[in-house]
Structure 1
C-alpha cells in the first residue's frame, strides 16, 4: 500500500518521505498442530490459533540531488 506523504512530519521521518509504501502479509497458525490454517478454520479455532503478521516499510531519503531507499522489515504475532 502506498503511504501518503505528510509534509508537516519531521524531515527524516517515514511519514514525510516521498515514495513511501508498505507490504503486509500474514499466516494463520493452528497452535495445537503448528500447521497453517484457512480463514474459516481460524475463525472457528478460538484461542487455539494465532496470526503471524509480516510487514516491510520502504521509503526514499533525499541525498543531494538523488534518493537513497531505506527499508524496515519486521513481524509480530497476534493471539486471539
Structure 2
C-alpha cells in the first residue's frame, strides 16, 4: 500500500491480486481535510478504480490508482 499527501489530501493506493490469477486490480481511498486530527474524512471511500483493467504487477496497479487520485484532486481544485 502506498500512502501519500498531496496538498490537503491524503491518498492510499493499494492493489489486490485477482483470485486464481497473476493479475492485480487497483484500489484507492482519498481522505480530505478534517477538523479533528484523530479522524480522517474519507471523501472517496475505498474502492476499485480502473474497473475495466487488470495489471501485471502490484506496482503497476498502485501507480494507476495514484494517477486516478491525482486526476480527481486536480478536478476539485
| TM-score with structure 1 setting the length | 0.40
| Rg larger in structure | 1
In the superposition, the TM-score normalised over structure 2's length comes to 0.41
Higher RCO, 1 vs 2 (CA within 8 Å, ≥6 residues apart): 2
Q: Which has the higher helix share?
A: 2
The structure with the largest strand share of the pair is 1
